[in-house]
Amino acid sequence: MTETTLPQGPPAALEREATAVSAAAVPVAPAVPVAPVVQEVPVVLSALRLEALAVGGTVGVVGMGARRSRARAESLAARLGPNQPVVVAGVAGALDPRLGPGDVVVAAQIQASDGSVVRELPGADLLAAELVRAGLRVHVGPIASSPTMVRTAEGRRHLARHGALAVDMESASVAGALGSRPMAVVRAISDTEDVGAARGGLRALRSLRTVRAAAEHWGRAVGARSVVLAAPRSFCAGVDRAIEIVERALDRFGPPVYVRRQIVHNAHVVRRLEDLGAVFVAELDEVPDESVVVLAAHGVTPGVRAEATARPTLNVIDATCPLVAKVHHEARRFASQGYRMVLIGHHDHEEVVGTVGEAPDQIRVVQDVDAVAALPFEADERIAFLTQTTLATDETRAVVDALRARYPMVAGPHADDICYATQNRQDAVRALAGQCDLVLVVGSANSSNTARLVEVARRTGCRAELLEDASELRLEWLASARRVGLTAGASAPESLVQQTLDALRLLGPVTVDEHRTTEETVRFSLPQQVR
């Protein structure tokens, strides 16, 4: 059997390493902090001075073992505010054989040595994600707190029987002293059944050196907040229709149903449909004969349609949004009347590629005001403009103004082609961004209307961040953000918004209000093949 290596006193090598690393730059309190405790900035507690040196910053040393750490933590707690966050950081012994020296465990739960739960620690996943981004190998799970040093492999296995990943000697007693104050426990593995602290301790201390920033972010992020949901948000009628087309096709014809490109620009939607039997392809030549194939909501070029028509055994179902199809129709109409066209949009977006395909020799794409000056058209030519459906309304207006200034006779749609859903979601986020510390926009990075929501919110002066789903929520963004706006792009499912709310609730109580700027009642009919 291997003797457990939870260090009673740090090996000299570890002491030298930690001192060399941080003693010059980092102020370390010899005991509990004496500086005034500032609300929201987390107090970090370590058992040993060596651990405190590695973590850096102002760290309280509570001493090793249950009794000593409890007494010092109680003395500290008497001077802390009732909501003061506290992070316990230090080394620990591994209980799970998958853990190695230098790995980090973020406690989701503190267990007593008999396996009973001392405290649940919600928010561990968010803190762990921050540490993963910092480059550490991180595990989330229970940590067992043992009142005595664990000296045998058998002792480790006994503590592991209720799922604990690691063992320390202080977390349970510190938790008892802190009451209901927000608490996190981050432990770096110094020893395993096979590797003693003399070998593994240095790696643990190196990992602890990376913990500080994440602990700060967590401490500043925990606490009560209010969330304002933008409405409308999430799916538009075109996305609803496209998803329903694939679902009905799967139902009616059975899997596989092929889909050319992402049916809508959202990774979660695509994954769910793949699970149901959809097969996503880049081009039609990947689709076998006698298959059902759906064309995505963003529309395609006439060339792709011709390719589909040339294969009579394919059952082609067009999920192009009717509002995108309307822009194609305008392009064909202007082209037939001899107009040169300016398409305001993003060159590489699938919708723009599809629209340009209607009259490639007559259409030029411009993205911003500067590009208008570089257009090769003369003022006396017949010029018309079109717009991508998912642009930012305020930016597009500036480009249209520049076009009218250069080509006073420019023709165009009544206003622009920006669709109702894009307009409504931008109005909704603009209406709440001014009252928020942060706006979170849920959606995929390749979704144009989602990216525009971030830009619109930022243009109000508010911080705004894009996240694919709750797993991308960053504590850093939430630091001191007590009023958060939340919305989702037209291709992002509402379930992702609710999951983001749930993740925010792990950091403290959340009150939720909805700010609705308009009702949406638009519905599009389905293609004949799936009615």
Which residues are catalytic, by number? 351
Residue range at the interface with ligand SF4 (CB under 6 A); choices 10-18, 165-173, 221-229, 414-422: 414-422
One symbol per residue from 345 to 384: x for binding ligand SF4 (CB under 6 A), - otherwise; what is it?
Answer: ----------------------------------------
- 450: phi then psi, degrees, rounded to nearest 5: -70, -45
Closest CB to ligand SF4 among residues 131, 386: 386
User: Which one among 109, 387, 389, 396 touches ligand SF4, defined by CB under 6 A?
Assistant: 389
Minimum Å gap between C-beta 478 and ligand SF4 is 29
Would you say 8 and 18 are in contact if contact means Cβ atoms under 8 Å apart? Answer: no
Question: 294 Cβ partners below 8 Å, 6+ apart?
Answer: 242, 245, 246, 249, 257, 258, 259, 260, 263, 278, 316, 317, 318, 319
421 binds ligand SF4 (CB under 6 A): yes
Residue 368 CB, nearest distance to ligand SF4 (Å)?
A: 21
438 is a contact residue toward ligand SF4 (CB under 6 A): no
Min. distance of Cβ 307 from ligand SF4 in angstroms? 23
Nearer to ligand SF4, 73 or 294 (CB): 294
What is the SS3 string spanning 26-39? Answer: CCCCCCCCCCCCCC
Binding window for ligand SF4 (CB under 6 A); candidates: 72-80, 177-185, 235-243, 406-414: 235-243
Q: Which is nearer to ligand SF4, 62 or 294 (CB)?
A: 294
Q: Residue 321, interface with ligand SF4 (CB under 6 A)?
A: yes
Closest CB to ligand SF4 among residues 21, 325: 325
Residue identified by tokens 């992020």 is 221
Residue given tokens 């009252």 in the structure block:
435
Please give the backbone phi and psi of residue 14, each rounded to the nearest 5 degrees, phi first. Answer: -65, -40
Q: What is the 3-state secondary structure (H, E, C) of 369-400?
A: HHHHHCCCCCCCCCEEEEECCCCCHHHHHHHH
Give the Cα separation of 510 and 350 in Å (integer): 39
Stated as kind and residue range, the H or E segment containing 44 is strand 43-46
Which of 238, 299, 443, 508 forms a contact with ligand SF4 (CB under 6 A)?
Answer: 238
Asked if residues 422 and 391 have their Cβ atoms less than 8 Å apart, the reply is: yes
Which one of 31-39, 129-137, 150-158, 317-325 is the stretch in contact with ligand SF4 (CB under 6 A)? Answer: 317-325
Q: Does the protein bind ligand SF4 through residue 444 (CB under 6 A)? A: no
Residues 127/230, Cβ–Cβ less than 8 Å: no
Q: Which of 237, 293, 335, 341 binds ligand SF4 (CB under 6 A)?
A: 237
Q: State the angle between helix axes of 237-253 and 322-336 in degrees (0 to 180), rounded to the nearest 10.
A: 110
Rounded Cα distance between 110 and 119, Å, is: 5
| Binder of ligand SF4 out of 77, 107, 323, 464 (CB under 6 A) | 323
> Crossing angle, helix 124-133 and helix 211-221, to 10 degrees?
140
How far apart, in whole angstroms, are the C-alpha atoms of residue 16 and residue 196?
Answer: 18
Contact flag: residue 327 with ligand SF4 (CB under 6 A): no
| 396 lies in the binding site for ligand SF4 (CB under 6 A) | no
Q: For residue 422, state whether it binds ligand SF4 (rule: CB under 6 A).
A: yes
Tokens of 112: 């007593």
Bridge partner residues of 341 (DSSP):
363, 384
How far apart (Å, rounded) are the C-alpha atoms in residues 524 and 452?
24
CA atoms within 13 A on the CB side of 352: 20
What's the closest the beta carbon of residue 344 comes to ligand SF4, in angstroms? 14
Return the half-sphere exposure (C-beta side, CA atoms, 13 A cut-off) of residue 305. Answer: 13
Query: Residues for the chain: how many in total?
Result: 531
Residue 450 touches ligand SF4, criterion: CB under 6 A: no
User: CA 56 to CA 34: how far, in whole Å?
Assistant: 16
Of 64-72, 112-120, 320-328, 408-416: span binding ligand SF4 (CB under 6 A) = 320-328
Q: Cβ-closest residue to ligand SF4?
A: 238
Cβ proximity to ligand SF4, 177 vs 490, nearer residue: 490
- Residue 386 interacts with ligand SF4 (CB under 6 A)? no
Query: Which residue number, 253 or 420, has a Cβ lying nearer to ligand SF4?
Result: 420
- Name residues contacting ligand SF4, limited to 253-312 (CB under 6 A): 297
- Count of residues engaged in binding ligand SF4, rule: CB under 6 A: 15
- Residue 390 binding ligand SF4, by CB under 6 A: yes
Name the site residues for ligand SF4 (rule: CB under 6 A). Answer: 236-239, 297, 321, 323-324, 389-390, 419, 421-422, 449, 490
